[in-house]
């Protein structure tokens, strides 16, 4: 007698597990806790074997019979249904282990170790939002240029041209890692050259006119916000480092007696040295009693973290400088422009102080101690020049 849904639903648990037979080896195994498991008995090469088809009611009577019939077809063709099922499971596990998402997360964990958190968080968010949903489950070795282009076109369609280019770069990084670890043979991204809309990036807004720079410096001096934010803003034009480097400055890296600040630049993976002018040292000495017992020169509300970039941007906005007029990063452009055009400093000295990679005649990239004597002189000259801009006139010291 074959089973029916009514019979299956009516089956109650007993003191011991029991079987409800259907036909052709299919039966329902009722457990003492009431769970009902589909099982299929069969013989292969003279040995009795068992297949599991799932749990009722997730797998209904009709589907259980279809799975039974599929297994019987395999037997009729000389194949072991259990062996086929194990092979299919192994293939799925292998595909999952070599999927783009699996490789991408493996690459990310290794890649992020020496990168700034502000950068790595954007990369993993981009992967999760714009890439994984579309190609994350595909075997990394089988991804084609059209499949990658389809992912990038989706990003382009919402007007995020820069994000599309960055996504392409991230996909290529993962593919190169897959090649290096033997999980793929080629990177499809180079085949997409010229397929995306051209991205024309904007420079960070900056004040580069001397008169306007003086007004900005006076606004910074008059800023009435928190003392830590004000100190960071006052120091920003004097040292013109990247905003993240300024906010993450640590007391352990600063030697006020030697007037030096040494730290690691994550963007270029180089050690950098900033000679500190008298004005910069004075700001830091004044701040030290307040924050010097902690790790960060400019701690945030939570003293275990550094000041957020939002705090500095918000301060500029309260002073009337919108995103198209001035940014925290804009202090670098201001220094580069005025040092060259107004103070006539050599470009290679400026570029070294900006911590840019500057190949020399020997092919050597950035060296933190190169032009150090000249940079010390330049940084003090720059600080004195900013003082003159701030008062709005040439300062002539009076003689006795």
pLDDT tens figures, 356-381: 765 554 444 455 667 899 999 999 99
Does 56 qualify as catalytic in the annotation? no
Q: Which of 242, 247, 272, 390 is catalytic?
A: 242
Q: Which of 112, 250, 267, 376 is catalytic?
A: 267
What's the CATH number of domain 100-192, 1.10.150.130, 3.10.180.10, 1.10.10.60, 3.30.450.150?
Answer: 1.10.150.130
Does 44 qualify as catalytic in the annotation? no
Q: Which of 27, 177, 366, 371 is catalytic?
A: 366
Does 356 qualify as catalytic in the annotation? yes
Where in the chain are the domains?
Answer: 5-89, 100-192, 210-391
Does 242 qualify as catalytic in the annotation? yes
Distance CA 316, CA 216 (A): 9
Does 42 qualify as catalytic in the annotation? no
Q: What pLDDT shows up at residue 368?
A: 60
Q: What pLDDT shows up at residue 264?
A: 85
Mean pLDDT, consecutive 10-residue segments, the chain of 400 residues? 87 92 91 92 87 91 92 87 75 70 92 80 92 91 93 89 90 93 91 84 71 91 90 95 92 95 80 94 95 93 87 89 84 90 90 73 53 93 94 53
- 0.85 cut: is pTM over it? no
Q: Which of 68, 332, 352, 375 is catalytic?
A: 332
* DSSP E strands, 171-277: 254-255, 260-265, 270-275
Q: What pLDDT shows up at residue 97?
A: 67
Q: Which of 65, 329, 336, 390 is catalytic?
A: 329
For residue 376, the SS3 value is: helix
For residue 236, the SS3 value is: helix
**Domain 5-89 sits in which CATH superfamily?**
Integrase, DNA-binding domain (3.30.160.390)
Does 332 qualify as catalytic in the annotation? yes
Q: Which of 56, 65, 15, 66 is nearest to 35 (CA)?
A: 56
Q: Cis before residue 57, ω within 30 degrees of 0?
A: yes
Q: Which fold has domain 210-391?
A: hpI Integrase; Chain A (1.10.443)
């Amino acid at each position: 007698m074959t089973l029916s849904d009514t019979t299956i639903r009516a089956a109650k648990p007993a003191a011991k597990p029991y079987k409800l037979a259907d036909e052709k080896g299919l039966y329902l195994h009722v457990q003492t806790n009431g769970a009902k498991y589909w099982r299929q008995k069969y013989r292969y090469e003279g040995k009795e074997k068992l297949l599991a088809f799932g749990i009722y009611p997730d797998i209904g009577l009709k589907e259980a019979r279809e799975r039974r019939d599929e297994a019987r077809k395999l037997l009729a063709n000389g194949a072991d249904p259990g062996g086929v099922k194990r092979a299919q499971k192994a293939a799925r596990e292998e595909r999952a282990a070599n999927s783009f998402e699996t490789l991408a997360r493996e690459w990310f964990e290794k890649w992020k170790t020496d990168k700034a958190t502000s950068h790595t968080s954007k990369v993993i968010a981009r992967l999760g939002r714009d890439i994984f949903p579309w190609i994350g489950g595909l075997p990394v070795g089988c991804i084609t240029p059209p499949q990658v282009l389809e992912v990038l076109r989706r990003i382009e369609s919402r007007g995020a041209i820069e994000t599309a280019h960055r996504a392409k770069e991230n996909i290529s990084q993962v593919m190169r890692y897959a090649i290096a670890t033997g999980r793929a043979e080629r990177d499809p991204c180079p085949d997409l050259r010229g397929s995306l809309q051209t991205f024309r990036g904007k420079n960070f807004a900056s004040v580069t006119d001397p008169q306007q720079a003086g007004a900005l410096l006076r606004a910074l001096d008059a800023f009435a916000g928190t003392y830590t934010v004000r100190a960071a803003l006052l120091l920003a034009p004097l040292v013109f480092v990247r905003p993240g480097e300024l906010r993450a400055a640590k007391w352990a890296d600063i030697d006020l007696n030697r007037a030096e600040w040494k730290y690691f630049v994550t963007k270029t993976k180089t050690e950098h040295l900033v000679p500190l002018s008298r004005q910069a040292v004075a700001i830091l000495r004044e701040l030290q009693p307040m924050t010097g017992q902690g790790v960060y020169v400019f701690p945030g509300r939570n003293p275990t973290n550094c000041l957020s970039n939002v705090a500095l941007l918000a301060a500029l906005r309260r002073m009337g400088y919108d995103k198209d007029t001035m940014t925290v990063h804009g202090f670098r452009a201001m220094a580069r422009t005025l040092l060259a055009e107004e103070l006539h400093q050599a470009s290679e000295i400026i570029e070294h102080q900006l911590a840019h990679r500057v190949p020399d005649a020997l092919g050597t990239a950035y060296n933190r101690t190169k032009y150090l004597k000249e940079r010390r002189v330049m940084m003090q000259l720059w600080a004195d020049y900013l003082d003159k801009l701030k008062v709005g006139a040439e300062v002539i010291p009076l003689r006795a």
